[in-house]
Amino acid sequence: MDYDYRITSKKNLIEVKNVFEKRRFCFTKNVTVYNYKDDKHVKVGKTRMNRNNTINLTRFSLFETTNKYKVEFSKGLINKMQGKMITIRKGNNKVKILVNARGEKYSVETRL
């Protein structure tokens, strides 16, 4: 079986590009997590937001020194989540936050 993968029009090219961008957004780590240590925030790792607008911080428990976290969102995530509620979760604890971003960088500080 031979398949012809040539794109025949600009419209098809744009559709293919949009599909790849959506897939890339779904699988990229779009949230950076910091933990408070010695009067400053230290980067602990990166994760991504789940489909139900939840960020799970449980996997960073091994690296924490305090229970104070700073979560920084990527530009693409800020545009997608503008005006929506997100949930930050660590173990059995949950915090719900409304995203109100008016700029390029948006970060949230919370204790869990």
pLDDT digits (tens, 9 = 90+) for 24-69: 545 677 899 999 998 899 999 999 888 888 999 998 888 788 889 9
Return the pLDDT at 62.
85
Query: Is the model's pLDDT at 13 over the cut of 60?
Result: no
- Residues 71, 38: contact at Cβ < 8 Å? no
Return the pLDDT at 3.
52
- Tell me if the pTM is above 0.75: no
- Residues 32, 71: contact at Cβ < 8 Å? yes
For residue 5, give both structure tokens.
Answer: 């993968």
pLDDT digits (tens, 9 = 90+) for 67-99: 899 999 988 888 888 889 999 999 899 999 998
Task: Considering only residues 102 and 81, tell me which one the structure prediction assigns the higher pLDDT.
Answer: 81
Give me the residue spans of the domains in the chain: 29-111
Return the pLDDT at 63.
79
